[in-house]
Chains A and B, each alone.
Chain A
Amino acid sequence: MPFNPHTDEDVREMLAVIGVDEIEQLFDEIPQSLRIDGLQSVPPMATEMEITRVMQERARQDGSKLSFIGAGAYEHHIPAAIWQITTRGEFYSAYTPYQAEASQGTLQLIYEYQTMMCELTAMDVSNASMYDGASAVAEAALMAVRANRKSKSRRLLVAGTLNPRYREVIANITKGQGLALEQLPCCMEAGNTIPESLQRYAGEDFAALIIPQPNFFGVLEDVDALTDWAHANNALTIAVVNPVALAVLEAPGNWGEKGADIVCGEGQPLGVPLSSGGPYFGFLASRQVFVRQMPGRIAGRTVDLDGKPGFTLTLQAREQHIRRSRATSNICTNQGLLVTAATIYMSMLGAEGLKRVALTSVARTAQLVEALTAVDGIETVFSGPHFHEAVLRLDRPVQQVLDELAHRGIFGGYDLHRYYPELGHALLVCATETKTESDIKTCADTFRAIMADARVA
């Protein structure tokens, strides 16, 4: 038994204290008919050395290729210190900080995180995290329905340019509570939402309008006009943003006349590895007036018996362990460890470092687009201003080109066919600060060779 301290003598002594002869007797309240005799289909015990070999082989098998995929998860450089500190046992193996006096490290870190997120988003309050970006938007939608006193509606308007997987998750999570999503059209020239297209909904009752910035295509939305439209029509504005982009782009709190009401998104770009999709973390911030409708944990600063400053979880009356069926959400465990990494990442980079990451990524993507559109059979699709992703159109089905690229060591991007067939042979590409000019050249050369090849064939 790999992790148990009990010696045979310990076991004998412990059984004697309990007053039974063998451990087996301790299970005598389980009906005999329910007892099983072992787990034969589970593999036998592996030593650390054996499982290390297995995992190393599998990791090697997966390898890693030069990747230009974004679509909701982004490859950024993660300074070495981030995860060395994050995986310190005192952070890694601590529980939720319910016993505040024994959890000041985690609590202060959450307070610092909340402050940083409020700064990035220009919101008043932030919670301590949600599961991921998609589920954070779903919770934001539910929160908006509760919080919007001017609306009785359970309908929400959603930009058609929001990550389609997010739209699926919002629908799947809010369905039970009867929320309905109305999808806005996307301008096929610019690649974003045309504020005028909202006019057909004027006078209708919606709880909120969900706006991504940048949107799924990497295109910037006219967030000022969209926010003002929402407010003029008694809807709240939910901003879905990339936190790295916020180093450069206007903070949602300053969108339009009054600013967005709820801000959420995927925290992964802040020092969290891609890791096949998780664990990441969702962030959720809002204006002060909505704080009591917020789901999830919140850390607050207070004083102890001696008047010394300290931290504790607060406003817990919103949460499931107090309010049970009337809680703002069922969320309990969140993504604390990833918040730890993100807080250290934001501290390490600061506003200037984060801005450089953002701007370098924008520049690299622009270079990538330039290099790829110089290849015969590749053109840009949208005219709107871009952040660090762009949509390209090929003269043939995207998947076969991606397959061929992968054979040659490159992940060329994300095929948009499944979610946006109306865009034709469309490919979403991304280059962050991790890509060099030579990477971009390699990518373009490989595209060129494949496109030329296939044409010959």
Chain B
Amino acid sequence: MTEPLIFEYSRSGRRAVAQAPLADSEVAIPGRFRRSKAPMLPQVTELQVVRHYTRLSQLNYSIDTHFYPLGSCTMKYNPRACNSLAMLPEFLARHPLAPEEDGQGFLQCLYELQEMLKSITGLHEISLAPMAGAQGEFAGVAMIRAYHDARGDQQRDEILVPDAAHGTNPATATMCGCRAVEIPTLANGDVDFDALERALGPKTAGIMLTNPSTLGVFERRILEISKKVHQAGGLLYYDGANLNAILGKARPGDMGFDCIHLNLHKTFSTPHGGGGPGSGAVGVNERLSPYIPTPLVTRGDQGLRWVTQGDRPQSIGRLSAFMGNAGVLLRAYVYARMLGREGMPRVADFATLNANYLAKRLADAGFTLAFPERRASHEFIVTLKKETRQTGVTAMDFAKALLDHGFHAPTTYFPLLVPECLLIEPTETESKETLDAFVEAMVKIRETALQDADKVKAAPVTTPVRRLDDVRAAKQLDICWRPGTN
């Protein structure tokens, strides 16, 4: 079940596509600019290309082929209509610098998406420009800094981040020239309020929170937290990674957040694409509106048009050459329309139902929940500390063994503060039968671990390759193929 590299199919003189032939001499590129040696790209037929990449695709687990309960990633079904409608020929052919008059249909979709996201988040204005969650975070912290700078409050360069936060939060603080200050979490999963109070001060620029948090529980004291942070002169940033849990149920704007990003590739079901593209739309309240990243879409006298830095001189500006991940926004728009006002709260309902059901089933089967006294949001954490102590079989071993049962593994070892953890997010599009089968697989793996731990430690055995030597990958770095190296 391995596939050679595309380069290994290559034969000198073999070609896939007949482009219009043109002799070099007709083209006026002076010799000193010319390439001295042709790049070694594959020389293969179209069939070879199609077969090779089809075979590679078959080596992947994906939502379309497997249950994919990856915590904090919201791997729900990506409806096919969203893709095919975003790929209508006119949408694909439209140049980003084509006149606005020739893009009113496209702009209408973006405008309506902005409007829908405003009511979903309870915020004043939305920019669809950021290209991924991390860029949305960047936009958020950059806006917070711009706000303080505009008030002559330049010393505010500390961003508070819970220790359970996604790694992009502290990394974003650094990208924006701020210092990340970690806030501990209490045993019940809430942010340590006293520690937070102690950390607040004249240097506080703001706080980045995910709610429900990455621990899969709702931050119950959010209103007190936002009051405290605002009193200290800081602003609140909402990381929208877990918005699926509260869609149509509660709104970050009402919780006191000044800005947020949404992961449209999570909550609004645009594809993860083997790593991207994402889309990290940001929302702001009136306070941060002047700083919102451009471009956004507005309604003018002559129809819809782009809002640019000229209209918003205080904006943190553009973060991409054109309009972020425009085609992803069309997919999100189609999805949002297909859910509609009736469907959106049902997303949260069934995502939460599935998570709580799966958590309860696993707990009943003897697994330890990290926060058993709490309601699960749309995801929850199982800690395998007990199993590891008993058998030596770790969370990673469970994850690998799940692959052999036909399930993608949950998120492992994140959040970092829960030992031997699996962060499990079933999403609303999975059936009860699938969840039941997952519980059965977990029970079976534990049984095997008790009888023959080595067997679990040897998993996976049904995947195209077995466990890979990561140490060797980093030490004997091989990240670019050279002829004669296999």
Contact = CB atoms under 8 A, between A and B. Distances in A.
A171 B96 CA distance: 21
Give the one of B20, B32, B276 with max A CB within 10 A: B276
A159 B299 CA distance: 36
Given A51-B81, A333-B133, A89 B62 contact: yes
A177 B137 contact: no
A197 interface: no
A65 B103 CA distance: 11
Given A62-B94, A104-B464, A356-B21, A45 B343 contact: yes
B88 to A, nearest CB: 4
A278 B322 contact: yes
B49 A348 contact: yes
B197 interface: no
Interface in B224-248: 246, 248
A254 B34 CA distance: 11
A356 B479 CA distance: 28
A422 interface: no
A208 interface: no
Contacts of A14: 353-354, 357, 432
Nearest to A9: B432
Interface stretch (A121-129, A181-189, A373-381, A442-450): A121-129
A111 interface: yes
A103 B105 contact: no
Contacts of A118: 480
B104 interface: yes
A101 interface: yes
Interface residues of A, number: 198
Interface stretch (A24-32, A199-207, A229-237): A24-32
A250 B33 contact: yes
Nearest to A123: B480
B327 interface: yes
Given A89-B65, A94-B274, A315 B120 contact: no
B207 interface: no
Interface residue range, chain B: 35 or more
Given A58-B105, A331-B134, A340-B274, A94 B91 contact: no
A40 B341 contact: yes
B375 A133 contact: no
B187 interface: no
A247 B6 CA distance: 19
Contacts of B97: 69, 71, 73, 414
A119 interface: yes
Nearest to A224: B32
A457 interface: no
Given A133-B321, A169-B318, A279-B325, A43 B250 contact: no
B193 interface: no
Contacts of A19: 360
Contacts of A423: none
A105 B467 contact: no
Contacts of B320: 131-132, 134-135, 169, 277-278
Interface stretch (B165-173, B281-289, B385-393, B446-454): B165-173
Interface string A289-329: 00100000111111111101111101101011111111101
A274 B85 contact: no
Interface in B434-486: 458, 460, 463-470, 472-474, 476-481, 486
A45 B341 CA distance: 6
A135 B319 contact: yes
Nearest to B336: A42
Given A35-B250, A104-B59, A250-B34, A324 B171 contact: yes
B318 A38 contact: no
Contact of B96 (A18, A60, A276, A362): A276
Contact of B22 (A87, A90, A347, A359): A359
A456 interface: no
Contacts of B34: 248-250
Contacts of A332: 132-134, 166-168
Given A326-B174, A332-B168, A433-B20, A278 B328 contact: yes
Contact of A135 (B131, B326, B340): B131
B134 A96 contact: no
Contacts of B277: 131, 278-279, 281, 333-338
Interface string B127-140: 00001111101100
A220 B171 contact: no
Given A303-B472, A349-B19, 7 more contacts: A92-B64, A99-B61, A250-B36, A304-B468, A325-B170, A350-B44, A351-B38
For the complex of A and B, list the 10 residue pairs with the smallest distance between their C-beta atoms, beginning with the closest: A277-B322, A89-B64, A58-B105, A337-B273, A45-B340, A336-B275, A277-B96, A176-B177, A310-B465, A320-B171
22 contacts: A1-B346, A48-B81, A59-B90, A60-B105, A79-B17, A81-B50, A93-B75, A102-B60, A108-B59, A112-B481, A134-B320, A176-B175, A276-B327, A300-B477, A312-B473, A321-B414, A336-B272, A337-B273, A350-B42, A352-B38, A385-B30, A411-B99
